[in-house]
Structure 1
Amino acid sequence: MDVSGELSIRGLTVDYGGAGGVRALQALDLEVEPGSFHAILGPSGCGKSTLIKVLAGLIPRTAGEARLPGDGSVAYVPQGNSCFPWLRAEENVAYGLKLRGVGRRERAERARDILKSLGLEQFSRAFPGQLSEGMRQRVAIARAFAVEAPLLLMDEPLSALDFQTKIAVQAELVDLWRDRRCTVLYVTHDIDEALTLADRVSVLSARPGRVALTAEVPFARPRHQAGLREQPGYAAAFRKLYEAIEG
């Protein structure tokens, strides 16, 4: 996987509804280092999801430019349940590989391998309706990593999970990223989650969103959200991000 080159966003502006509509993002600039895990925080309605969808090619930008790492391909994990209910877990994971023309045997092997790394090997033939919410989200994350895109876009992928499940999936997500080392842009509303997962965190201002602050996460890896608040410097790091969100 080629992750050379930064994710570089310059002057990104996005309007909804044409003249008299809503400006979601305005002149947003952001640099994300190759192979890093970068979190995005911000108040509700500030354009976090809009940013992800523009980079995923799902909505057009009004102005500005974005230079993507590697060959420019992306993988995307949206909010909520994104598994196809008519496909088994293994088939869900292999779906992106199928679209890329990967042969049946290779995509089955790659799907099984990544499901095994997530502890879901025995559920590979299960349909999403037979899986728990945490299992379904693991399948969605596995599908995104399986295609080995240089840029992985994640829009609050763990927000629907209970605390214990979220902690477990966070650790598995970091393990997958560490093994594959793609560039990750991760939207969350949870400051603790951002400090647990990311190398750097950017905070967007209230709408129209622009980058109000970018900060390094000062804690060494590995991290665990359950013990994060015991880390020296936690209160200062949390307060800095909280105050930026409050604006």
Structure 2
Amino acid sequence: MQVTFLGTNGWFDTLAGNTVSVLVQSEEYDIIFDAGNGIAKADQYISQKKPVCLFLSHFHIDHIAGLHTLCKFRLKKGLTIYGQPGSAELLDRFVAEPFTVPIKDLPFSTKVQELSAGEHHLPFTITCLPLVHPAPCFGYRLETDGKVVTFCTDTGVCDNAVTLARDADLFITECGLLSGEESPDWPHLNPENAIGIARKARAKRLALTHFGAEVYKTREERLALQEHFSAECPGLIAATDGLQLNV
């Protein structure tokens, strides 16, 4: 299984990266988490030989802005977009005229499927649970090919993040805040929070993404963070756009 970080910024694009999107390539599916502007690069990696599944965490613009680029793709095996209850209605309004090409007019088969909180078999296993955020937001636990990959962004510290990340081979979560910072009115994680969740969950490896674009302004700042916390969290990854990992 290969994981590619297509976009690693939160809020807005900078020279350090695009807004958040992660591609997980399993044996039978190309699976994408979130559709920030980084998703426009997915066609550099997907094979066109497998169905594509897109899981949306929530509808803040930095997680869906890249949906307007779907019309450039030619997905021969089609696309299924998964999200929380209410996703179909919202996407019908957002991925539509006058903003962009409507979902029904995309040049490949596309459907939207809403998921309730809990475990689903699609046929791979996906578990979605609500996170702590000002807007309703799902975290996801993917189980396929004998591996577990967890994706949790945006969130504050919460039990559901720990549950989703339990014994994960790779736990992907956010780092919206600087070390030591807190944001109780707009929940996000600092690196210590993320490491704490990973430890409590006994996740095998932690990858940080969704870096606050206004506070992590360069790739070098992210790599410095990785180096600073590497002793505390062995194998820590501060993701940058284009980074690929084998899980």
Q: State the TM bucket, normalised to the shorter chain.
A: 0.3 to 0.5
Q: Larger radius of gyration, structure 1 or 2?
A: 1
Higher helix share: 1
Higher strand share: 2
TM-score with structure 1 length normalisation?
0.34
Greater RCO structure (CA 8 Å; 6+ sep): 1
